Structure 1
Amino acid sequence: MEANTSLWHSYLSVIVSRERQRMEHFQRAEDILLTLLESVHAREPRFLVDYARNLEAFEFALCASEDAVTLEMPLRIDGDTLRVLARRTGDAAGRHPSAGDTCCLGVCSPGTDLEDWTGVVDVMEHGGGAGCLLPGKILQRLKELLVSAIVHCQRLFLLQPGDISAENLREDAMELSLLIRGSWKTIRFDIVPVVRRQQESLQLPRRRSDRGFPEGSLRKATEEAHFVPASPHCWRSSTHLPILKLLRGVDTLKGPRLDSLRLLDQLRDQDWGGEGGKGSLTFNHLKMVLLWSTELFPSPEDWQDLEGSVYRLLVILLRCLATQHLPHFLNPEENLFQGAASDLATLYHRVESFAWDPQRFLRFHFGLHGFSGSCQADTETRALLQLPAEDGSYWDTAYFDMLLGQFQVYRIQDSARRSAATQLLSKIRREILQQS
Structure 2
Amino acid sequence: MLCAGFSWGSLDSKVLSKFLNEEVWISREESKKALDKALSKVTTILQCMEERDPRFGSQPHKSGSYIERLQVSDPDEFDFMVPLEEFPKLVPVKVPFQLQLQHPSPPVDKSYVAVCLHLFPYTSPWQKNDVSELVQEGRIIIPKKVMSTFKKNVIQALETMKQRGSVDVHQLRQGTPAVTFTMTHNRNEIDVDLVPFIKDPFVTWSLPWPRFLRAWPSTDKIEKVKKTGVDLVAKHPLYWRYSFSRAERVLLEGIDSDGGCRRASLQILKKIRIDFWERKFGKVLVSYHLKTVLFWACEAYPQSCDWTDLSTSFKRLVDILIYSLSHMHLPHYFLGSDVNLFRKDCWPKLYNLCYEVKKFRRNPEWYLEED
Alignment of 1:3-402 (within 5 A): 4-20=12-28, 21-53=30-62, 57-59=66-68, 61-64=70-73, 69-78=78-87, 81-89=89-97, 91=100, 97-98=108-109, 101-109=112-120, 110-117=122-129, 119-122=132-135, 128=136, 130-154=138-162, 162=166, 164-169=167-172, 174-196=177-199, 197-204=201-208, 207-208=211-212, 211-223=215-227, 224-275=229-280, 278-332=282-336, 333-339=338-344, 340-363=346-369, 365=371
Contact 1:23 1:60 in 2 (8 A): no
- Per-residue deviation, 1:170: 5.8
Q: TM-score normalized by structure 2?
A: 0.82
Using the alignment, how far apart are the partners of 2:113 and 2:85 within structure 1? 21
Deviation sequence 1:41-88 (CA, Å, 0-9, x none): 222222112344266632475244778644321111235x22221223
Contact 2:143 2:238 in 1 (8 A): yes
Q: Percent identity?
A: 21
What is the aligned-residue RMSD (CA, Å)? 3.2
Secondary structure at 2:241 match in 1: strand
- Per-residue deviation, 1:145: 1.5
Structure that is richer in helix per residue: 1
Q: Relative contact order, CA 8 A, sep 6+: which one is greater?
A: 2
Structure 2 vs 1, CA of residues 270 and 55 (structure 1 numbering), >3 Å: closer, same or farther?
Answer: closer
Structure 2 vs 1, CA of residues 160 and 67 (structure 1 numbering), >3 Å: closer, same or farther?
Answer: closer
Larger radius of gyration, structure 1 or 2?
Answer: 1
Q: TM-score normalized by structure 1?
A: 0.71
1:329 counterpart letter in structure 2:
Y
- Per-residue deviation, 1:132: 2.6
- Which deviates the most, 198-207 or 280-289? 198-207
Deviation sequence 1:132-173 (CA, Å, 0-9, x none): 33333332322222112112223xxxx5964x2113346996
- Per-residue deviation, 1:246: 1.8
Structure 2 vs 1, CA of residues 119 and 148 (structure 1 numbering), >3 Å: closer, same or farther?
Answer: closer
- Per-residue deviation, 1:29: 2.0
Aligned counterpart, 1:402: none
- Per-residue deviation, 1:281: 1.0
Contact 2:59 2:82 in 1 (8 A): yes
Q: Unaligned regions of 5+ residues in structure 1, if any?
A: 123-127, 366-436
Secondary structure at 2:16 match in 1: helix
Structure 2 vs 1, CA of residues 188 and 222 (structure 1 numbering), >3 Å: closer, same or farther?
Answer: farther
- Per-residue deviation, 1:307: 0.6
Using the alignment, how far apart are the partners of 1:263 and 1:206 within structure 2? 28
- Per-residue deviation, 1:221: 2.1
Secondary structure at 2:171 match in 1: coil
Secondary structure at 1:105 match in 2: strand
Tell me how many residue pairs correspond in the alignment: 352
Deviation sequence 1:183-226 (CA, Å, 0-9, x none): 34333333232222243334435724772224422332244231
1:115 counterpart letter in structure 2:
Q
- Which deviates the most, 57-66 or 246-255? 57-66
1:183 counterpart letter in structure 2:
N
